C-alpha cells in the first residue's frame, strides 16, 4: 500500500497526527469542533483514514470512497482485526476500476464508527469515560461534514470522484448536494435519497435486540467490563438477511441440513442457513461496537435529502456541474431500482449530467461488494471517460 503523507502539524498550525499502527489518524483541536445537526458538537474530533496511491501535482486525481453501514476505512488493505482483505478489493487497487496506480484513493471511518474515528466508544474529554450515549446523535450530513474537514486537511479543493454503496451512496448524494463545486464525479450505488419506512423498521429491530441484551447496561457496558455480544449478533443476523435476495439464499442454501442426515427436532442450527447466520453474527461482534451500530443505523434512518430543500430532490442538485453515474441491482429489495430512478429523475430535473445503469443480478443488495462484471466495467468506463475530460493521465503514462 502506497500512502500520500498528510500535511504536517507545522504546516497547518492546528491539526495533529495521532499514532496508530493500523490507520492514518488526524485529531482536530477543541477550537475546531464538528458542529452537528442535533445542535451538539464533537471536540476534539478524531478521524481515522487510509490512503492508497499518490496525489498528483495538480491534486486533481483524488477519489473519496464512502463506506457502508458496517464498513470502515480498510477498503483495499488487510483488515487489522479480521485479517481479511479489504471490503472493496474487487474495485480498488492497482489496475482495478478505481486504479490506485492512477488515482489517490481516500477512505475514512465515519463519525459514530468504531475503527478510530470519534464514536461512542471514544473517550469523552469531559468525563474521561467512553461517550456511550452521551455522544450527540449522528446524521449522514454530520459524516460528510467530518469528511470535508479531512479533505481540507489534505489540501484538496475538488475531489475527482466520490463513490460508495448503500450508506456510502447516501454520503455521496449528500456530498454532491452540499459541496457541488468540490465533486467532479459522483457514483451512488445501491442507494436512496431517503430511508424507507421498511428499512427504518429493520433497523429498529436490530437496535431493540442490542438494547434488550442485559449486558448493554444502558450503553455503559465498557465501564462494566462487558459487551452486549448476543444482542449485536442478532441485530447482524436480521440485517444480513436484507442484504441477500431470495434467489441467492435459495441457490446457496435451499433447505439443506447442516452436517446431518435428518432433523434433530430441537432448536439447534439444523439448517445451513441457520448456521450461516449464526456465524455472521458471531464474527461481526469481534470487529464492531454495539453502540456504533445504534448510531450509524440511526444516521441512515434520518437521511432525507429532499427535506433539506423544501421537499424537492431536484432542488438539491439544481445547476450542479457534477457528473453522476447511478447504479442499481435488479434483485436489491433493500434499496430497489425505484430508489435509484427517483435520484436520476431529480438529477435530470436539476439539469445534471447523469448516466444510469440497472444491473441484472440475483446477488441482492450485497452485489455492490461482490465480483459483478457489469459493475466493474461500468465503473471503469465512467471513470476513464471522466479522467480524460479532467486531464488525468493513465497509469504508467
Residue 365 annotated to the active site: yes
- Quick one: cell of 124? 469523552
**240 part of the active site:** no
**367 torsion bin: left (phi>0), alpha (psi -120 to 50), beta (else):** alpha
Give me the catalytic one of 60, 108, 166, 331. Answer: 166
CB atoms within 10 A of CB 45: 22
Distance CA 275, CA 279 (A): 6
Three-state SS letters, the chain:
CCCCCCCCHHHHCCCEECCCCCCEEEEECCCCCEECCCCCEECCEEEEEEEECCCCCCCCCEEEEECCCCCCCCCCCCCCCCCCCCCCCCCEECCCCEECCCCEEEEECCCCCCCCCCCCCCECCCCCCECHHHCCCCCHHHHHHHHHHHHHHCCCCCEEEEEEECHHHHHHHHHHHHCHHHEEEEEEECCCCECCHHHHHHHHHHHHHHHHCHHHHHHCCCCCCCCCHHHHHHHHHHHHHHHCCHHHHHHHCCCCECCCCCCCCCCCCCEHHHHHHHHHHHHHCCCCCHHHHHHHHHHHHHCEHHHHHCCCHHHHCCCCCCEEEEEEECCCCCCCHHHHHHHHHHHHHCCCEEEEEEECCCCCHHHHHCCCHHHHHHHHHHHHHHHHHHCCCCCCC
**What's the burial of 2, exposed, middle or buried (CB within 10 Å: 0-12/13-18/19+)?**
exposed
CA distance 148 to 34: 11
Options 142, 270, 332, 339, the catalytic residue: 332
Q: Could you say which of 67, 74, 195, 365 is catalytic?
A: 365
β-bridge mates for residue 46, sequence order: 27
Place of cell 434467489: 247
Q: Which residues form the catalytic set?
A: 166, 332, 365
Amino acid at each position: 500500500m502506497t500512502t500520500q503523507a498528510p500535511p504536517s502539524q507545522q504546516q497547518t498550525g492546528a491539526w495533529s497526527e495521532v499514532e496508530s499502527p493500523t490507520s492514518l489518524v488526524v485529531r482536530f483541536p477543541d477550537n475546531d469542533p464538528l458542529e452537528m445537526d442535533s445542535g451538539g458538537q464533537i471536540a476534539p474530533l478524531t478521524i481515522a483514514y487510509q490512503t492508497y496511491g499518490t496525489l498528483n501535482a495538480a491534486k486533481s486525481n483524488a477519489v473519496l470512497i464512502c463506506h457502508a453501514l458496517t464498513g470502515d476505512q480498510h477498503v483495499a488493505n488487510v483488515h487489522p482485526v479480521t485479517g481479511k482483505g479489504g471490503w472493496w478489493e474487487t474495485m480498488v487497487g492497482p489496475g482495478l476500476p478505481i486504479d490506485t496506480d492512477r488515482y489517490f484513493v481516500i477512505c475514512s471511518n465515519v463519525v459514530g464508527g468504531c475503527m478510530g474515528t470519534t464514536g461512542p466508544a471514544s473517550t469523552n474529554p469531559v468525563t474521561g469515560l467512553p461517550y456511550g450515549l452521551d455522544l450527540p446523535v449522528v446524521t449522514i450530513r454530520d459524516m460528510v461534514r467530518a469528511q470535508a474537514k479531512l479533505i481540507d486537511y489534505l489540501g484538496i479543493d475538488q475531489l475527482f470522484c466520490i463513490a460508495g454503496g448503500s450508506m456510502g451512496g447516501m454520503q455521496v448524494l449528500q456530498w454532491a448536494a452540499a459541496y457541488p463545486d468540490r465533486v467532479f464525479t459522483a457514483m451512488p450505488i445501491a442507494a436512496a435519497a431517503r430511508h424507507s419506512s421498511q428499512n427504518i423498521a429493520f433497523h429498529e429491530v436490530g437496535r431493540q435486540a442490542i438494547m434488550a441484551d442485559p449486558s448493554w447496561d444502558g450503553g455503559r457496558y465498557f465501564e462494566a467490563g462487558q459487551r452486549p455480544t448476543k444482542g449485536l449478533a442478532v441485530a447482524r443476523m436480521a440485517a444480513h438477511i436484507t442484504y441477500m435476495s431470495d434467489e441467492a439464499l435459495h441457490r446457496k442454501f435451499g433447505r439443506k441440513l447442516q452436517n446431518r442426515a435428518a432433523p434433530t427436532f430441537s432448536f439447534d442450527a439444523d439448517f445451513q442457513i441457520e448456521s450461516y447466520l449464526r456465524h455472521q453474527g458471531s464474527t461481526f461482534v469481534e470487529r464492531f461496537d454495539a453502540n456504533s451500530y445504534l448510531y450509524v443505523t440511526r444516521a441512515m434512518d434520518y437521511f432525507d435529502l429532499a427535506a433539506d430543500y423544501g421537499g424537492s430532490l431536484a432542488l438539491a442538485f439544481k445547476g450542479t456541474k457534477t457528473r453522476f453515474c447511478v447504479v442499481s441491482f435488479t434483485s436489491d429489495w433493500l434499496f430497489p431500482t425505484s430508489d435509484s430512478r427517483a435520484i436520476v429523475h431529480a438529477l435530470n430535473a436539476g439539469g445534471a449530467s447523469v448516466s444510469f445503469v440497472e444491473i441484472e443480478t440475483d446477488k441482492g443488495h450485497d452485489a455492490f461488494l461482490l465480483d459483478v462484471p457489469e459493475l466493474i466495467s461500468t465503473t471503469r468506463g465512467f471513470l476513464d471517460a471522466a479522467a480524460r475530460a479532467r486531464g488525468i493521465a493513465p497509469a504508467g503514462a
